Amino acid sequence: MTTPFSATTRATGAGPVVTVSGEVDVATAPRLRAEFGALTLERGQLLVVDLAGVTFCDSSGISALIAARNLAEEAEAGVALAAVPDRLSRTFALIGLGDFFPTYPSAEEAIASQT
């Protein structure tokens, strides 16, 4: 049985945290992109994407994460990934994205990096 996809956003002093869970694939990546697109990022904020609950991520999901990075850059904000599952981290390394995103063990540590 697969974990249902969800993406929720909460505000922090450093910026928004988008918590993602379930499978991020061709069917669900548009919902993740919409979650990112609904954000209002300000200069100097940090967008944290918490991936602790992600059970699968295909190229559509990776593309959505790259789109989030692009949105952050346009707003002169930062982006960081938190709690990246091992297999997704290995995929990033294999496709040359190992250093594309700052990563942290948890969303809290990513937020703390801004203070």
**How confident is residue 88, by pLDDT bands cut at 50, 70 and 90?**
very high
**pLDDT of 25-71, one tens digit each?**
999 999 999 999 999 999 999 999 999 999 999 999 999 999 999 99
Nearest-angstrom CA–CA distance, 55 and 12: 25
Predicted local distance difference test score (pLDDT) of residue 38: 97
Question: Where would I find the H helices in the chain?
Answer: 29-37, 59-74, 86-94, 107-112
Residue (of 60, 56, 67) closest to 4 by Cα position: 56
pTM of the shown model: 0.95
Mean pLDDT for 13-25 is 98
Nearest-angstrom CA–CA distance, 63 and 101: 13
**pLDDT of 75-87, one tens digit each?**
999 999 999 999 9
| In the chain, where the domains are located | 6-108
Options 3.30.70.2860, 3.40.50.300, 3.40.309.10, 3.30.750.24; CATH for 6-108 is 3.30.750.24
